[in-house]
Amino acid sequence: MSQYRLSYLEQLESESIYIFREAAAQFDKPALLFSGGKDSITMVHLARKAFAPGKIPFPLVHIDTGHNFPEALEFRDKLIQKLQATLIVRKVEDTIRIRKLTEPKGKFPSRNWLQTYTLLDTIEEFHFDCCIGGARRDEEKARAKERVFSVRDEFGQWNPRLQRPELWNIYNGRIHKGENVRVFPISNWTELDIWNYIRKENIELPNIYFSHEREVIEYEGQLVAISDFILPSVEDKVVTKKVRYRTVGDMTCTAAIESNAQSVEEVIHEIVATRISERGATRIDDKVTEAAMEDRKKNGYF
Amino acid sequence: MDLLRFITAGSVDDGKSTLIGRLLYDSKNILADQMDALERSSKNRVNGSVDLALLTDGLRAEREQGITIDVAYRYFTTSKRKFIIADAPGHIQYTRNMITGASNASLIIILIDARHAVVEQTRRHSIIASLLKIPHVVVAINKMDLVDYSEHIYNEIKNEYSTVAVQLGLEDVTYIPISALNGDNIVNKSSAMEWYHGKSLMKYLEELETGQDVNMADARFQVQLVIRPQAEHLHDYRGYAGKVISGIYKKGDKVKILPQDTDTTITAIEIDGNEVEHAVFGQSIVLQLADDIDISRGDFIVKTDNLPTLSREPEILLCWLDDKPLIRGNKYWLQHNSRVVRIVIKDVKYKLDVNTLQRHPAEEDIKLNEFAAATLKISTPLVFDSYTRLKENGNAILIDETSNSTVAAVLLQ
C-alpha cells in the first residue's frame, strides 16, 4: 500500500475477505469446499485472515473422488492440522456404491461429473445452506457470468437466466428452505493474481506445482501422469519428463505441463510468457463440448 | 499497480463484444488455445472471419442467438493496470443488467455507431451513467471504417453528444474515434485517422488518474460481524469486523456507534490479527473499542465530528429490476451493505423517464427497468449518506419478502 491507496492485490484481498465475512454472517451452516488445489489453499489463507484472531468459523469439505494426487492429500492433512480447522471428507466411491452409479469408462475415467452427486448428498447430510467455492470468472466462459452469491434450487441447479442482479457490494443471500447458495470469494481473481498473491503472502503449496520428474503418457498433446488410475496401454508412449501442474484436480482429468519452474517467481515468469490458458493446458474434462462447464454447473456442479 | 473497473454500453450491434474482444486480443490477453476455440466456433457459424464477439458470449443460448443475455466479467492486465470489464447487454429489456454492471464501475465506455450517431439507447445509457455517478465517461465512436474515417462525422457526433453531456452534468467526457473490428485507435493510434490527436483507448485507460474518485473526508465503517474467539488467551476479545466504506480510521479516534448513538474510542485496528496504525477506504479490518457496547451486524462506527444521515423515512430513487411490478403498500427487505431492515414503500412520487429525464405522475405500477422516486418507511432509522455525496454509503437494494429476489436498485437521496 502506498500511503492511502491500495494496490490491486490488496483490493482483491479485501473484497474476498468481505465476501467471506458476508457468507459467515448471512448463513446458518456455511462450508468451504476444499479441493487441495492452489485456489483452495489461497481461499483457506483468505478465510483465516478474514476471521483472525478467531478460527475459521465453518468446516472445510473435501469431495474426494478417490483419484487424488497423494501429494495433495498429504498437504491437505498438514494444513488442517496447522489451522486446527474441521475437515469433512465425503467419497465419490461411496456414492457410486450406495446409489449404484455407473463408473465412467474410457482411457481417462474421470469421476469429475459424479462429484456432483456426492456434493449434493453432503449438502443434504449436513444441511449446508452455503457452499463457498474457489471458482474464478476468468477460468471459463460460463463462469464469467456467474454471481458471487449464486443461488441454487433444491436440486442444486444453476439457472443462468434467473440470476439475481448483484449490485455494488451488496450480497443478497436470502433463500428458501432447501435452497442453497454457492459463494465465490475469488471471482475477480485471475491465475496470475493468485500466483502474485501466493508470492506476496508466502503461501505454501504442494510440490507438484513446481518442476519435478515424472513418468507420463503423451496423449493428444497432453501429458498425463501414470498412476493407479491411469495405466499405460501398449500403444502409449511413456516418457519421463520435467513437469509441473498448473491446476490440481483429479489424476484422471488433470494434465501436466513441461516446466523447469522451481520457485513461485519462476512459475510467475512462465505464466506471463505462456500462450495457453490454464484450463486449456491442463484440463481433460472441459473439451467435451463447447458448453461442458455450463452443463455441469446447471446440474449442480461447483 | 492499481485496479480499474469499467463497463461497456451500447445498443445491439454497436460492437461492444467486438471491442472487448479487441482489447483482450491486442493487449495479448487472449491465449492461443482460446483463439483456437474461437476459430472453431467462428467456423461453426456462417461468417468467415474470426468473430471476437464470441469471446464474451459464454452461454449456449447467447451463442445460438448471437446475443448477450447477462453481465459478463472479463479481466485483463497490462504493465500499468489490472482491468475488470463488465460487459452489459444493450437490449432495452436488459437495462437492469447495465445497472448491475455499472454499479461498481468507475468508468463507462459508451459506444456509438458512427453511422447512426446518438440514438435513444445512447441517451438512456448516459442518463444511467449520470444517475449512478460514474465519474469518467469515454464516448467511443465506433465503426469509423464504415464512414471513411471521416473527421466531419466524428465532430458532428461529438458536438451532438456534448449537448447531452452538459444536460446530464457529466463532467469528465473523452471522445475517441475507433474501429473495434479493425483495431483502429484501440491499442495503437490509427494511421487512417491522423486528424485525431488524442490517446488510443488503451492508453487512455492505462493513464486515467482515479485518485480524486476516492472519498477520504467522510469516515464510514459498518460492522459485518462480531469476532469473539472461543479461545483461552483471547477470552475477553471482541472485534468488530468490516470494510472501511470511506475515509480513514486511526487508533485513538473518538467514534460514535449508530444508530445507538453511543460514544467510545478505537483502541486497536487489526488486520490478520496484527495491529496497524490506521486503515483506509477499501480495507477489510477489525476494530476494537474502549467500551463494552451492544453492537451487532449492520451498526455503524463513525467519527464523532462527521456524522451520516439518520432517517426513518428516507427519500430514494429506485430502478425496478423484477418482472413483478412494485406494489405500493407491500413490505420489502432493504439491504444497505450489511444491514437488512423491513420497509414499506410509503409513497411513489413520480416516475422518471430514462430517455428524457422527464418526471411523470406515477399513477400506474412501477415496472421492470423503470425509475421512480419514492419515500420509504422504516421502524428503526437507517444510517446513510446521500448517493450524490458518498455513493458507497448511499446505495441499497430491495428484496421481495416472498421470492427473495433482488427487485430494485436504490439510490438514497
% chain B with pLDDT above 70: 89
Strands A257-258 and B239-246: unpaired
Which of B186, B213, B240 marks a domain boundary?
B213
Q: Which of B296, B284, B282, B258 is nearest to B384 (CA)?
A: B258
B window 354-393, beta carbon within 8 A of A = 392
B window 286-305, beta carbon within 8 A of A = 286, 297
Neighbours of A105 (CB within 10 A): 7
What does the pLDDT read at residue B65? 58
Of A51, A172, A280, the CB nearest to B34: A280
Strands B81-87 and B2-9: parallel
Q: Which domain holds residue B260?
A: 220-303
Q: Which of B177, B216, B214, B212 is nearest to B197 (CA)?
A: B177
What does the pLDDT read at residue B47? 47
Do both B25 and B160 map to the same domain? yes
d(CA B393, CA A148): 20
Do both B401 and B384 map to the same domain? yes
Going across the sheet that includes A222-225, the strands are A222-225, A212-219, A238-244, A257-258
Do both B38 and B164 map to the same domain? yes
User: B402 touching A, CB under 8 A?
Assistant: no
What does the pLDDT read at residue B333? 97
Q: Which of A71, A75, A113 is nearest to A96 (CA)?
A: A113
User: Does the structure show a pLDDT above 80 at A112?
Assistant: no
d(CA B312, CA B327): 20
Region B42-60: what's the mean pLDDT? 58
Q: Which of B85, B81, B67 is nearest to B21 (CA)?
A: B85
% chain B with pLDDT above 90: 65
The alpha carbon of residue A139 is apart from the nearest alpha carbon of chain B, in Å, by: 10
Residues in B closer than 8 angstroms to A11, CB to CB, are: 2-3, 282
Do both B339 and B254 map to the same domain? no
Chain-chain contact of A11 with B282 (C-beta, under 8 angstroms):
yes
What does the pLDDT read at residue B126? 93
Chain-chain contact of B280 with A4 (C-beta, under 8 angstroms):
yes
Q: How many domains does chain B have?
A: 3
User: Does the structure show a pLDDT above 60 at A131?
Assistant: yes
Do both B239 and B206 map to the same domain? no
Do both B256 and B149 map to the same domain? no
pLDDT tens per residue, range A144-153? 888 999 998 8
Which of B146, B181, B213 marks a domain boundary?
B213
What does the pLDDT read at residue B46? 47
d(CA B354, CA B261): 39
Region A138-167: what's the mean pLDDT? 81
What does the pLDDT read at residue B161? 96
Of B34, B70, B336, the CB nearest to A163: B70
Q: What is the mean pLDDT of chain A?
A: 85
The domain that contains B225 carries what CATH number? 2.40.30.10
- What secondary structure does DSSP assign to B237-263, as a single string? --EEEEEEEESEEETT-EEEEETTTEE
Do both B207 and B129 map to the same domain? yes
Q: Which of B322, B342, B317, B312 is nearest to B330 (CA)?
A: B342
Do both B297 and B352 map to the same domain? no
pLDDT tens per residue, range B11-20? 767 778 788 8
Do both B235 and B280 map to the same domain? yes
What does the pLDDT read at residue B28? 73
All structural domains of chain A with their residue ranges: 8-192+290-298, 205-282
Residues in B closer than 8 angstroms to A200, CB to CB, are: none
Q: Which of B258, B253, B334, B336 is nearest to B300 (CA)?
A: B258
User: B41 touching A, CB under 8 A?
Assistant: yes
d(CA A13, CA A15): 5
The alpha carbon of residue A100 is apart from the nearest alpha carbon of chain B, in Å, by: 31
pLDDT tens per residue, range B231-278? 778 888 999 999 999 999 999 999 999 999 999 999 999 999 999 999
Q: Classify domain A8-192+290-298 at the CATH superfamily level.
A: HUPs (3.40.50.620)
The DSSP letter of residue B53 is: G
- What does each C-alpha distance from B38 to A224, A276, A287, A290, B394 come to in angstroms? 25, 13, 13, 10, 42
Do both B251 and B361 map to the same domain? no
Do both B30 and B139 map to the same domain? yes
What does the pLDDT read at residue B48? 45
Do both B226 and B327 map to the same domain? no
A window 103-162, beta carbon within 8 A of B = 137-138, 140-145, 151, 160-161
Residues in A closer than 8 angstroms to B32, CB to CB, are: 275-276
B238, B272, B387, best to mutate vs chain A, most A CBs in 10 Å: B272
